[in-house]
């Protein structure tokens, strides 16, 4: 069966309630399809209206009574209010039967108003996060679907072009957040590292869920494959730090090993050449391993004309915004070495060692700007992925 491209929209209310990570964890752990793109969008009223009308026609085919409910919800929740647009996270998944798999994980919203609460199992995303409340007459009193996803490939195709047209004209970072004291607001970069994407797992979602404790807002995200050139520039400052830290230690160890092997004492004068040769070579090899870990290729094995090519492994950069954002994110993340991280931090929970340590977070607002520039944070592949898929049809 041919691969399908489908989408999940995480609603503004779900995002506001910091349930984004929980939703993503469900999606990634239960669907054997690939997350190929993600973007935070801020719909205009025109987009909300166009999507609401299309959604009404889609829902009418299988649940006529719910069609107006969905239409009115999208028009209200997705349209700007209070002078600003609201955030919606769009996730693109690709694979066999992608539409039916996502729809099954999301769950249906139809429920008998007379049903007992214990009939809700919590199996689907909507069982856990959605609300459908009736009054005593059976009329809908409150409705929050948590996520929206098309039930079929035909429905997905109808809507994908709408979102591609919108996304390619919009910045990747949502710029219209309102704060009482804008001068106190910081932006910081988080990268959910490649080890979290090697097999279907709830880890990326659980990591985002733990970051939600900061109370900061996600204003941008994307699925990215870091090139070797990007990894070299991104981690460039680490190279000299590794040489300073590791080369003297390796020199000392090399001297001790040689003395034990040949049973004679060596002068400390040999430490300088050992540091400059063996020590520096070892530190540079560790740096190359970091580049390989983040891009999938060692820089010394990558042809020059392929340095800028997309990497072989996937990561997810996210941009958080709020007061004291850098420190709040790093406090929840924990120190570089997971074995030294305090309980309750992300690296203590999910990290293995100083390299396989789950996530990266900028250590200053200046570095956040530098790192976002290297990753070209305003670029997003959501619209191109949709365009390529629609063209293939």
Q: Is the same domain home to 151 and 248?
A: no
Residue 250 domain flag: yes
Q: Is the same domain home to 14 and 93?
A: yes
Residue 134 has pLDDT above 50, yes or no: yes
* Confidence label for 66 from pLDDT (cuts 50, 70 and 90): confident
**Cα→Cα distances 353→212, 226, 265, 320, 350, Å:** 24, 21, 35, 25, 10
* Confidence label for 109 from pLDDT (cuts 50, 70 and 90): confident
Cα 337 from Cα 346, distance rounded (Å): 11
Residue 366 domain flag: no
Q: Is the same domain home to 152 and 266?
A: no
Q: Is the same domain home to 16 and 152?
A: yes
Query: In which domain, by residue range, is 272 found?
Result: 230-306
Residue 47 domain flag: yes
Angle value at C-alpha 58, between 30 and 106, nearest 5 degrees: 15
Residue 72 domain flag: yes
Residue 38 has pLDDT above 60, yes or no: yes
Domain end, chosen from 269, 284, 306, is at 306
Domain end, chosen from 306, 327, 355, is at 306
Residue 151 domain flag: yes
Backbone dihedral region of 158: left (phi > 0), alpha (psi from -120 to 50 degrees) or beta?
alpha
Residue 292 has pLDDT above 70, yes or no: yes
Nearest 5°: phi and psi at 164?
Answer: -65, -45
Torsion of CA 173, 176, 179, 182, to 10 degrees: 70
**How confident is the model over 215-222, as a mean pLDDT?**
96
Residue 355 domain flag: no
Q: Is the same domain home to 158 and 47?
A: yes
**Cα→Cα distances 58→107, 153, 195, 221, 303, Å:** 16, 12, 38, 28, 49
Q: Is the same domain home to 139 and 254?
A: no
Q: Which stretches does DSSP call E strand in the chain?
A: 3-10, 34-41, 88-96, 131-134, 140-144, 147-148, 185-192, 217-221, 316-323, 359-361
Mean pLDDT of the chain: 93
pTM: 0.93
Residue 55 domain flag: yes
- Give how many domains the chain has, as a whole number: 2
pLDDT recorded at residue 111: 55
**How confident is the model over 220-236, as a mean pLDDT?**
98
**CATH of residue 11:** 3.30.70.141
Q: Is the same domain home to 129 and 270?
A: no
Q: Is the same domain home to 241 and 164?
A: no
Q: Is the same domain home to 168 and 234?
A: no
Residue range 163-195, pLDDT digits in tens: 999 999 999 999 877 788 888 899 999 999 999
Tell me if 5 sits within 8 A of 133, measured CB to CB: no
Tell me if 26 sits within 8 A of 205, measured CB to CB: yes
Q: Is the same domain home to 12 and 121?
A: yes
Domain end, chosen from 306, 327, 351, is at 306
- Residues of 99-129 as b/e, b for ≥16 C-beta within 10 angstroms? bebbbbbbbbbeeeeeeeeeeeeeebbbbbb
Q: Is the same domain home to 162 and 17?
A: yes
Residue 302 domain flag: yes
pLDDT recorded at residue 373: 98
Residue 35 has pLDDT above 60, yes or no: yes
CB-based contacts of 131, cutoff 8 Å, min separation 6: 142, 143, 144
* Confidence label for 63 from pLDDT (cuts 50, 70 and 90): confident
């Amino acid at each position: 069966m041919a691969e399908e491209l489908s989408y999940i929209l995480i609603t503004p209310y779900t995002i506001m309630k910091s349930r984004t990570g929980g939703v993503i964890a469900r999606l990634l752990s239960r669907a054997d399809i690939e997350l190929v793109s993600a973007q935070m969008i801020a719909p205009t009223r025109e987009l909300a209206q166009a999507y609401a009308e299309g959604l009404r026609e889609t829902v009418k085919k299988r649940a006529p009574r719910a069609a107006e409910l969905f239409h009115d919800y999208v028009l209200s929740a997705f349209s700007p209010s209070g002078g600003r647009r609201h955030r919606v996270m769009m996730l693109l998944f690709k694979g066999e039967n992608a539409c039916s798999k996502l729809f099954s994980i999301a769950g249906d919203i139809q429920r008998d108003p007379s049903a007992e609460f214990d009939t809700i199992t919590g199996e689907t995303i909507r069982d856990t996060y959605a609300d459908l409340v009736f009054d005593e007459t059976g009329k809908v009193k409150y409705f929050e679907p948590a996520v929206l996803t098309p039930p079929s490939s035909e429905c997905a195709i109808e809507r994908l072009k709408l979102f591609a047209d919108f996304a390619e004209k919009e910045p990747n970072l949502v710029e219209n957040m309102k704060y009482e004291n804008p001068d106190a607001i910081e932006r910081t970069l988080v990268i959910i590292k490649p080890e979290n994407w090697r097999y279907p797992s709830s880890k990326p979602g659980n990591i985002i869920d733990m970051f939600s404790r900061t109370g900061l807002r996600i204003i941008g995200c994307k699925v990215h494959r870091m090139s070797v050139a990007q990894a070299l520039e991104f981690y460039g400052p680490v190279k000299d730090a590794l040489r300073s830290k590791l080369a003297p230690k390796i020199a000392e160890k090399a001297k001790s090993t040689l003395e034990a092997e040949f049973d004679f004492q060596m002068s400390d004068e040999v430490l300088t050449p050992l540091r400059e040769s063996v020590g520096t070579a070892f530190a540079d090899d560790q740096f190359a391993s970091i580049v390989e870990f983040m891009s999938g290729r060692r820089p010394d094995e990558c042809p020059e004309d392929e340095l800028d090519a997309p990497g072989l492994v996937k990561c997810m950069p996210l941009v958080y915004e709020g007061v004291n954002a850098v420190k709040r994110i790093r406090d929840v993340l924990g120190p570089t070495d997971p074995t030294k991280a305090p309980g309750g931090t992300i690296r203590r929970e999910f990290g293995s060692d100083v390299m396989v340590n789950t996530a990266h977070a900028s250590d200053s607002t200046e570095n956040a700007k530098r790192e976002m520039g290297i990753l070209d944070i305003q670029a997003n592949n959501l619209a191109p992925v949709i365009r390529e898929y629609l063209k293939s049809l």
